[in-house]
Structure 1
Amino acid sequence: MRRFAPLSVAALFLSLASLSLAFLTLAFLALPATAVHAASAPCKPGSGVKLRGKDLTGAALPPVMRCADLSGAKLDGVDLTGKDLTGAVLRKASLKEADLGQARLDYADLRGADLSEADLGQMQAKQANLRGAVLTDADAVQAEFPHSDLTGAVLTRAVLTQANLTDAKLVDADLKDATLGQIKGRTADFTRAKLGEAKLGQAHLEHAVLRDADLSEAEFTQAELDGADFHGADVDKASFTQADDVDLTGARGTPENLPDDAVAPGAAGDEPAEDATPTWGRDVPGNAVRSKGPSPALVLVIVSGLGLSLTLILWGVAHRRRERFVAEMAVARHAAEEDVTRFGEEIDALDFEMKINQVSGPTHEWRAALDAYEAAKQALNVAQTPYDLQAAATAIGRGRHALHVVRSRLSATDGHR
């Protein structure tokens, strides 16, 4: 019986493996280019599959739904978990009790859509338009709404724990009895929003705008409120237990559980004592017994005590200056970081717009904007003082000027078409 040499068996195995790899490569290359790139290429909102006004509650959904036109469509209770609906148009669509967990709706148009009792857990909706949308009793834990427009949206009793509402617009939104614990709401605009009885424990609301908002009986336990604007807001019976940087200047009502360092509505400075004249400066009656001059030992003790007190005062002043510098630097750095982030998002938005319209901007200015973004990030990394952060602001100014030139030239190009 003939035996195969070990070398021959190994060679045969390697040959079969190579043929299999070649076959799989050819099969992949044979796929249409649209199938390979469909998931990654940007598209114009509403330019995808046309399902306007369709009842999809029992229908099979198409595999690709990016930029789909679903205006007025019925999707009640439909499972859209993890679906990519980037740029989709869902105006006045009905999505009651739909499952949109981990779905992508960046740049989507959801104006007037009904998402009552929908599951929006970890949904991504960056720069989405939800003006007038209804999210009553929706579960939106860890949902992402940065830079989105929720003007006039109804979020009564909605659960938005740990949701990202950074720089979101919630003007006139209804958030009564909503759960907003640990939300990221820096620079968010809640002007005239209804937040009565809302739970905002540990919420990050640095530099948020809450002007004329209804905050009666709302809960701000351990919330971060540095720079938040409460002018005209109703804070009657609102609780601020252990909240940081509470400044209710211009607010109305009587809040509860204010921290010792908080600025209450209508707070006035401390009144001077009725009689602040020291006893040693008062007239001494003529029949009073005058004491003898202090002894040298007493003078030495007093001088030593004064020296120690002066040393402690100087140390306290220096310590407060250091703390104030650290606090000012933290605020300045935070503001600079947000400005750099916004500039990066402006670049992303213009890049997305150019790709979906299949146009390209002037190379020199576009490169200048990208270089300015990198320079701003580098300036942030090395900044040690608020003055050092001016380099980042200068770079962003140059970059925004370059972006303006790009937009102007693109507009001029569109006008000649």
Structure 2
Amino acid sequence: MRRFAPLSVTALLLSLAFLSLPATAAHAAAAPCKPGSGVKLRGKDLTSATLPPDLRCADLTGAKLDRVDLTGKDLTGAVLRKASLKEADLGQAHLDYADLRGADLTEADMGQMRAKRANLRGAVLVDAEAVQAEFPHSDLTGAVLTRAVLSQADLTDAQLVDADLKDATLGQIKGRKADFTRAKLGEAKLGQAHLEHAVLKDADLSEAEFTQAELDGADFHGANVDKASFIQADDVDLTGARGTPVNLPDDAVAPGTTAGDEPAGDRTTTWGQDLPGRPKGPSPALILVIVSGLGLSLTLILWGVAHRRKERFVAEMAVARHAAEEDVTRFGEEIDALDFEMKINQVSGPAFEWRAALDAYEAAKQALNVAQTPYDLRAAAAAVARGRQALHEVRSRLSATGGHH
């Protein structure tokens, strides 16, 4: 049997030193390169320029990228601090470990963008569309996301302390362990959101919608839940919250009560007590009535469970289909916009890629028509992703040829 030599003292000490690093240092060590060590474009106006092919770890501090097409671009580790990216197209772009502190992403398209462990402290994402975008372990402290659309986005363990998410769409987000302390979520839509063990301390949740949200272990201490709706939400515990929520499930813990309090629907009075002149114990007829009642109750409970499951499935499908339809519609608008641009400029794109984009659009519409479950809708999302990649190739070819036939 092969024997392995023991670790040297130096190697062991280095291993222990790395393990003792704070989390932020360990994250930096895991980054692909030193942020800002790539191409130097600090303060440049790139709205009409041809971008370099390699933007990994680029220094784009204060750069102007309004309406620039960055679809699928690799900006891993790039520094975009205080950069202007208004209405930029960042669909499927890679911004893992990127520095976007104070960046302006107003009305940017960030569909399926990847931004793991990115720094977006104080960034502006007003009216941005970030459907299925990924922000796990990212820092969005103080970010402004008013009316932003983040349906199905991944915010696992993200920091959103003091973030402004008023009227934002957060349906079906993955927000496990996310920190929304003091965040503004008034009128936000959080239907079917996964917020297990999320922190919502002192957050403004007035008139927010938590329909069918998963809230196991979520912390609402100090949060304003006035008029917030919790239709069919699971594991609702509003201990320490303030305000008057609506549509609370029967097993919810409302503000002003504690988790140990017995729900009002479960409280019963004592029966069968001995009374003077009355025989001890229930009669056989009463026992028969009770058994029959229990049988009927069990039948009704089983029927109710099945009915609620059906209602939940219908609601989930409606939310998922709506998100998918909006994504396909946006893709169709992107095709129309590029087609109009080519006609105005009297140019034509590469036939193969253009046909691939059109075919993908038709495939996405067909997938929507036949989808019966949320899982089936993945085919539509995959078709849109293929189509957007084809459109990106068309734009790249047109840029490379200078827009000539």
TM-score range, shorter chain: 0.5 to 0.7
Tell me the TM-score normalized by structure 2. Answer: 0.59
Tell me which residue corresponds to 1:154. Answer: 139
CA distance in 2 between counterparts of 1:80 and 1:109 reads 16
Could you tell me whether the CA contact under 8 Å between 2:317 and 2:373 is conserved in 1? no
For residues 256-295 of structure 1, the aligned pairs below 5 Å read 256-262=242-248, 263-264=252-253, 266=259, 268-270=262-264, 272=267
Tell me which residue corresponds to 1:78. Answer: 63
Tell me which residue corresponds to 1:170. Answer: 155
Match of 1:94 among 79, 82, 86: 79
Could you tell me whether the CA contact under 8 Å between 2:66 and 2:86 is conserved in 1? yes
Structure 1 position 254 matched with structure 2 position 240: yes
- Aligned residue type for 2:372: A
Structure 1 position 243 matched with structure 2 position 228: yes
Tell me which residue corresponds to 1:187. Answer: 172
Question: C-alpha offsets along residues 139-183 of structure 1, whole Å, 9 cap, x if unaligned?
Answer: 110111111110011000110001111100011100001000111
Tell me which residue corresponds to 2:129. Answer: 144
Q: CA RMSD in A?
A: 4.3
CA distance in 1 between counterparts of 2:374 and 2:211 reads 25
More off after superposition, 87-96 vs 249-258: 249-258
Q: Find the residue that maps to 1:223 and give its secondary structure.
A: coil
Question: C-alpha offsets along residues 307-353 of structure 1, whole Å, 9 cap, x if unaligned?
Answer: xxxxxxxxxxxxxxxxx9997796255146158559969x99xxxxx
Tell me which residue corresponds to 1:213. Answer: 198
Tell me which residue corresponds to 1:38. Answer: none
Q: Find the residue that maps to 2:321 and give its secondary structure.
A: helix
Aligned CA distance change for structure 1 residues 59 and 254 (closer, same or farther; 3 Å): closer
- What is the percent sequence identity of the aligned residues? 29
Match of 2:189 among 199, 204, 212: 204
- Aligned residue type for 2:219: D
Structure 1 residue 233, shift from structure 2 partner: 1.2
Could you tell me whether the CA contact under 8 Å between 1:68 and 1:87 is conserved in 2? no
Aligned CA distance change for structure 1 residues 207 and 120 (closer, same or farther; 3 Å): same
Tell me which residue corresponds to 2:335. Answer: none
Could you tell me whether the CA contact under 8 Å between 1:169 and 1:190 is conserved in 2? yes
Q: Find the residue that maps to 1:392 and give its secondary structure.
A: coil
Higher Cα radius of gyration: 1
Tell me the TM-score normalized by structure 1. Answer: 0.58
Structure 1 residue 393, shift from structure 2 partner: 3.8
Size of the aligned set, in residue pairs, is: 289
Aligned CA distance change for structure 1 residues 328 and 57 (closer, same or farther; 3 Å): closer
- Aligned residue type for 2:116: R
Structure 1 position 54 matched with structure 2 position 48: no
Structure 1 position 125 matched with structure 2 position 110: yes
Question: C-alpha offsets along residues 175-201 of structure 1, whole Å, 9 cap, x if unaligned?
Answer: 001000111111111111111111111
Q: Find the residue that maps to 2:372 and give its secondary structure.
A: helix
Could you tell me whether the CA contact under 8 Å between 1:67 and 1:85 is conserved in 2? no
CA distance in 2 between counterparts of 1:341 and 1:169 reads 20
For structure 2, the 5+ residue unaligned runs are 1-35, 278-307, 333-350, 387-405
Tell me which residue corresponds to 1:334. Answer: 318
